[in-house]
Amino acid sequence: MTPRPTVVPDLPSPSPRSFYNRQDERWALIRSSKHINTKLAVFVHGFRGSYLDTWGKLPDLLTENADASEPFASWGYVFVGYSTWRMQTFLDISAVIGTEVTAAQNGDGRYGHKYDRIALFAHSLGTLGVRQLICAASVQAPGLLASLHSVMLFGSPINGSPAARLAVGYDIREALKPNNPQLKMLRSWSKCAFESSPWPEVRLVIGQDDRVVGARDIFFTEWPNDEKNPRFTAYNHRTLTKPNEWAGSHVVDLIGAGLSG
C-alpha cells in the first residue's frame, strides 16, 4: 500500500522588511531587506505617548506593504520615543530627535548605513520638539536642514492645550499651558531662525474632533512656513495618527504625501 504523502502547510513568505524593535530604548527601525534605503522617515510621539502605540497599526502596515509601492519603498522608517516624565522643555525633546537624526546621518550603530534625506513626522507634544529642532538646527550636526525633505505635524498644540491642567506631576505641563512663556519663546525663536536658515513648508494635519488642542485655524499663520491650508480630518487627537488598513487609509495617504515631497 502506497503511503500517503506528508502534507506540508503553506508557510508565509518572509516580509520584505526587517523590523528591529528595542523596547528598552523606545526605538524601532523598519528597513528594507532588498536594498539599502538612504532616505529615513522619523516618527515622534506626544505627551505620554509610545514610540509605537501612538501610530497604531502603521509600523506593521509599513513592514508588510512599504516595498510594494512608491514613495514608501524608497524610505526607511524609525520610531523614536522618550520618557515624558524626564522632559522639562521642548529642547529636551528636540535633543532626543536630533541624536537619532545625527546617528542616522552618520550610519552609526543600530542604523548600519548612512541616510542622507530625512522626513519628520510628529504627533502632539512631539511636534513642538520638531519645531524646536528645526529652528535650532545650528546646534545640531551640520547639514540637518540641507537633508530635511519634509515636515508633517499631527495635532500640533501651536497655542498650547487647555488639557495641560490635567497633566499634574509632569514638568512639561508648564510648556503646554495656553500662551505660556516657553511656547511664545519658541514661536519667536522660530521666526528669527527661519529668516536666516529657512526650512521646507511645514504640513499640518488637524482633527476636526480634536478636543485636546482644538481645530481652530486662527493661529496657523503665526508660525514660519506653516502651510496656509492645513489638512483637516474627521479624527480626534488620539486617532489622528492611527490607520486601520493600508489601502484607502487617509493617514497612510497623508504620510505618502509627506514622503513624496
> pTM for the complete prediction?
0.92
Q: Per residue in 63-92, pLDDT tens?
A: 999 999 999 999 999 999 999 999 999 999
- Select from 113, 91, 93 the least CA-distant residue to 103: 113
Ordered by where they begin, the domains of the chain are: 17-260 (3.40.50.1820)
Q: For residue 35, what pLDDT is reported? A: 86
pLDDT confidence bin for 133, thresholds 50/70/90: very high
pLDDT of residue 10: 36
Residue 98 pLDDT greater than 80, yes or no: yes
Residue 143's pLDDT is 87
pLDDT in tens, 211-232: 999 876 545 558 999 998 899 9
Q: Mean pLDDT throughout 130-135? A: 97
What is the reported pLDDT for 220? 56
pLDDT tops 50 at residue 12:
no
Residue (of 18, 25, 48) closest to 124 by Cα position: 48
